[in-house]
Amino acid sequence: MALLRQGFRIRWSNDISDVACQTYRDNFKSPRIKTGGIASFKKFPRAQLLVGCYPCQGYSQGGKRNWGDSINFLYREFDRVLRKVKPKAFVVENVNGMAFGESRTLLENQLRRYRMAGYRVKWTVLNARDFGVAQNRKRVFLVGVRSDLKLEYNFPEPTHGWGRKKPFVTQRDVLGGLPRWPAGEFNTEPFHWYYLSRNRRMPWGKQSPCIVGHWRHVPLHPLSPPLKRIDTDHWKFSRKGRARRLSYRECALLQGFPRSFKWKRGTVRERFQMVGNAVPPPLFEAVLRGLSRIWR
């Protein structure tokens, strides 16, 4: 979506999830998307820009990790495609856990590979809320420009928030007017101990906590009673009242998708996964603007 808004023509795209590919076709004209693991594709069309977001389990700061899992090394496939296509520039997005602790080694491996492929590479952590998204979502971005080009890429400065041209966008701004209890669109499981190990709720006038791909762990809707901290990794509701997790449509809006976007494929659980794994379009669009001089 961000690519189309910036005037790009998408020549080829890929996802291993058939449901995600069907949703892509529902929303974009002349879709050129292939379903399957990226390693199974050997030929790619010529292109000026390559973008990617490979799975992040090995970089995540939450949940179980398996450092030997091959999914942690899909950046090697991105490197393979990069060397075949040789675009003018590339953009990679991933969880900000990549920049810390043991995961930092994986980040440095990627930087080394992409630089050896012939690109000047920069990276930083950006928060979606600073670019008009009603969500507190930090992500790592890597941007590379081919070494034979003279452009110096600079990451965007925040446009929203304290001291900026525009105020932060809040949950009230994007969720206002929606049904308060959209039956069938959210997970009704009990709030187990792990869910209540952190504060999952922000009030209407704030940004949502990070939207995740697992429907069990998405944040609370702001109509829910506030949570109060009991002790380490232990929170509970401060008063009685109806509480629920956000619906998949609400999560999509908090990611920056328009209300007109169609989410009709797969199970409700699969829709949460698609939404949570996506890159917020306004944030990605802000990253792309810094490359505009290359195409001119």
Report d(CA 224, CA 169) in Å as an integer.
20
Instruction: Reply yes or no on whether 210 is catalytic.
Output: no
Report d(CA 187, CA 195) in Å as an integer.
13
Token code pair at residue 89: 């520039």
Query: Residue 222: CB partners within 8 Å, gap ≥ 6?
Result: 171, 172, 175, 201, 202, 203, 204
Report d(CA 214, CA 230) in Å as an integer.
25
Report d(CA 4, CA 10) in Å as an integer.
8
Tell me the one-letter amino acid at 275: V
**What is the distance, to the nearest Å, from the Cα of residue 152 to the centroid of all Cα atoms in its chain?**
25
Q: Which residues is 145 bridged to in the sheet?
A: 89, 120
DSSP state of 100: S
Report d(CA 178, CA 241) in Å as an integer.
19
Catalytic residue among 21, 53, 56, 251: 56
CB 91 within 8 A of CB 288: yes
Residues marked active site are found at: 56
